[in-house]
């Protein structure tokens, strides 16, 4: 309506500007007649403008009415839609609760099945592990140590640390002499008599290794010298004594070589040993608070066959050895005597604590720098304050496996 009035006012202004004559023509009759005609035309235009305005007003009223009706319908539809949405939300929430409940029941069943499956797998794994250990240690040897009967001082040197031994994996009579906690010279004597008498006929063979050993935990097995490579934390060297070459090497896992294996052997970080079952390594383990780790090594490939975390502590320990797959750890107070075996670990679990006798060594002034068992002659070879010693042993049969 406002637009129509504006248009009519604009038309009126245009007509007035077009038909009104200048003031000096107002007295002329012809001019007055002309003006009258013009006013009639103007009245007709105003009438048409009025009619158009009325039409616009009527059309606007009808449009407003239609809009009001449509708004009412929209409001009705909005209420219905909102109600439908609310109902749908309630149904979705109900359905979600039912789904959650069903999922809870399914997960509960799965958890029960998973726990049962895990338990079954654990039992199976434990059975397989036990069978593996029994197979690994299935040798004819079933002896356990019950006493250390006597000692024999074979030789005396000025060196407080070192190791000496025979080849525990062959019938060779040769004796090997390794002096000092760090060295690369091995003396090979033809037999025990040549070693004891230090005779020049036959003269000992001098073997200069390309690498130096660390500690006094060396082992000789089937023509090979196994030793901890100096300057490394856990590298084991396999040296061919006949060919005079490094045959192989390995990195002993499980945190080996990071700490002393025995408190009273300040240079030994890895102790290698041989018994009726073959080659072993005794070392400290990572994160087990100073307890010893026993590792079985396959000497041909230098692969790890199995490892055990033992309850035996390195605190106050001075040496250890293996006999028929059982670890015997020697302890002393402050490195002084008496030297006792107060921790025994059997991976097969056939030795019970009540079966253990009072195992002690004849009194020595200092701690042993090495004690190694020779499964061929069933004796211990030891080094104590420069003395090369042989201990004779007393054994009995272990309890059979259940």
Q: What is the per-residue pLDDT across 86-107, written as a single tens digit (0 to 9) for each?
A: 878 888 887 787 787 788 777 7
Mean pLDDT score, 119-123: 70
Relative to beta strand 336-345, strand 379-384 is unpaired
Phi, psi values for residue 123, rounded to 5°: -65, -40
Instruction: Report residue 63's pLDDT band, with 50, 70 and 90 as the boundaries.
Output: confident
Q: How far apart are CA 23 and CA 11, in angstroms?
A: 22
Lowest mean pLDDT: which of 1-15, 27-41, 274-288, 365-379? 1-15
- Least confident window among 103-117, 176-190, 258-272, 278-292: 103-117
How large a percentage of the chain has pLDDT more than 70?
84
| 117: exposed, middle or buried (Cβ count in 10 Å: 0-12, 13-18, 19+) | exposed
CB 170 within 8 A of CB 187: no
Return d(Cα 324, Cα 190) in angstroms, integer: 28
pLDDT tens digits along 277-330: 999 999 998 766 689 999 999 999 999 999 999 999 999 999 999 999 999 999
Closest CA to 326 of 313, 344, 310: 344
pLDDT value at 388 more than 60: yes
Mean pLDDT confidence for 378-401: 89
Burial class (CB in 10 A: 0-12, 13-18, 19+), 19: middle
19-33, 240-254, 281-295: which has the highest mean pLDDT?
Answer: 240-254
User: Is the pLDDT assigned to residue 120 strictly greater than 90?
Assistant: no
398 close to 324: Cβ distance less than 8 angstroms: yes
Identify whether the C-beta of residue 396 lies closer than 8 Å to the C-beta of residue 348: no
279 and 270 Cβ atoms separated by less than 8 Å:
no
Per-residue confidence at 199, pLDDT binned at 50, 70, 90? low
Which among 230, 237, 219 has a CA at the least distance from the CA of 257? 230
Which pLDDT score is estimated for 131? 65
247 compared with 40, residue with greater pLDDT: 247
Instruction: Output the CA torsion 373→377→382→387 (10° steps).
Output: -170
103-104-110-111 Cα dihedral, nearest 10 degrees: 150
Q: Kindly give, in sequence order, each residue whose CB lies less than 8 Å from that of residue 223, ignoring residues fewer than 6 positions away.
A: 167, 169, 170, 240, 241, 242
Query: In sequence order, what E strands does 69-223 have?
Result: 143-156, 162-166, 175-179, 182-189, 205-214, 219-221
Amino acid 226: pLDDT: 98
pLDDT of 129 above 80: no
Comparing 374 with 257, the larger pLDDT belongs to 374
Tell me how far apart the alpha carbons of residues 325 and 143 are, in angstroms, rounded to a whole number: 9
- Please, which pLDDT band fits residue 81 given cuts at 50, 70 and 90? confident
Q: 269 φ, ψ to 5°?
A: -110, -25
Confidence band of 201 (pLDDT split at 50, 70, 90): confident
Model pTM score: 0.69
Binning pLDDT at 50, 70 and 90, where does residue 9 land? low
pLDDT of residue 336: 66
Q: Would you tell me how many other CB atoms lie within 10 Å of the CB of residue 372? A: 28
How confident is the model at residue 234, as a pLDDT?
Answer: 94
Mean pLDDT of 78-84: 79
Q: Is the pLDDT of residue 13 over 80?
A: no
pLDDT at site 22: 57
State mean pLDDT over 230-254.
95
pLDDT (tens digit, 9 = 90+) per residue, 149-172? 888 999 999 898 999 999 998 889
């Amino acid at each position: 309506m406002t637009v129509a009035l504006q248009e009519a006012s604009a038309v009126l202004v245009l007509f007035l500007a077009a038909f009104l004559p200048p003031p000096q023509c107002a007295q002329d009759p012809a001019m007055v007649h002309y003006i009258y005609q013009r006013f009639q035309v103007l009245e007709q235009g105003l009438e048409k403008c009025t009619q158009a305005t009325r039409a616009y007003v009527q059309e606007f009223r009808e449009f407003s009415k239609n809009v009001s009706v449509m708004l009412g319908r929209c409001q009705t539809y909005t209420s219905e839609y909102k109600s439908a949405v609310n109902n749908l939300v309630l149904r979705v929430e109900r359905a979600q609760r039912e789904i959650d409940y069903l999922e809870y029941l399914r997960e509960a069943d799965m958890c029960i099945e998973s726990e049962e499956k895990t338990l079954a797998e654990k039992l199976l794994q434990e059975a397989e592990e036990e069978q593996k250990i029994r197979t690994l240690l299935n040798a004819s040897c079933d002896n356990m140590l019950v006493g250390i009967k006597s000692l024999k001082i074979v030789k005396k040197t000025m060196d407080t640390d070192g190791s000496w031994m025979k080849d525990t994996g062959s019938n060779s009579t040769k004796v090997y002499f390794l002096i000092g906690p760090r060295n690369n010279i091995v003396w090979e004597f033809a037999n025990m008599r040549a070693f004891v008498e230090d005779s020049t006929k036959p003269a000992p063979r001098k073997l200069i290794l390309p690498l130096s050993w660390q500690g006094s935990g060396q082992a000789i097995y089937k023509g090979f010298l196994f030793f901890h490579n100096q300057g490394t934390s856990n590298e084991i060297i396999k040296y061919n004594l006949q060919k005079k070459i490094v045959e192989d090497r390995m990195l002993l896992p499980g945190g080996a070589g990071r700490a002393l294996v025995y408190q009273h052997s300040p240079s030994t970080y890895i102790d290698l040993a041989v018994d009726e079952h073959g080659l072993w390594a005794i070392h400290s383990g990572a994160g087990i608070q100073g307890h010893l780790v026993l590792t079985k090594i396959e000497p041909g490939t230098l692969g790890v066959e199995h490892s055990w975390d033992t309850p035996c502590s390195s605190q106050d320990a001075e040496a250890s050895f293996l006999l028929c797959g059982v670890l015997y750890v020697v302890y002393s107070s402050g490195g002084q005597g008496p030297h006792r075996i107060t921790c025994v670990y059997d991976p097969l679990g056939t030795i019970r604590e009540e079966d253990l006798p009072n195992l002690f060594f004849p009194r020595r002034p200092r701690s042993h720098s090495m004690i190694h068992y020779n499964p061929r002659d069933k004796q211990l070879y030891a080094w104590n304050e420069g003395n090369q010693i042989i201990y004779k042993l007393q054994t009995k049969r272990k309890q059979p496996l259940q």
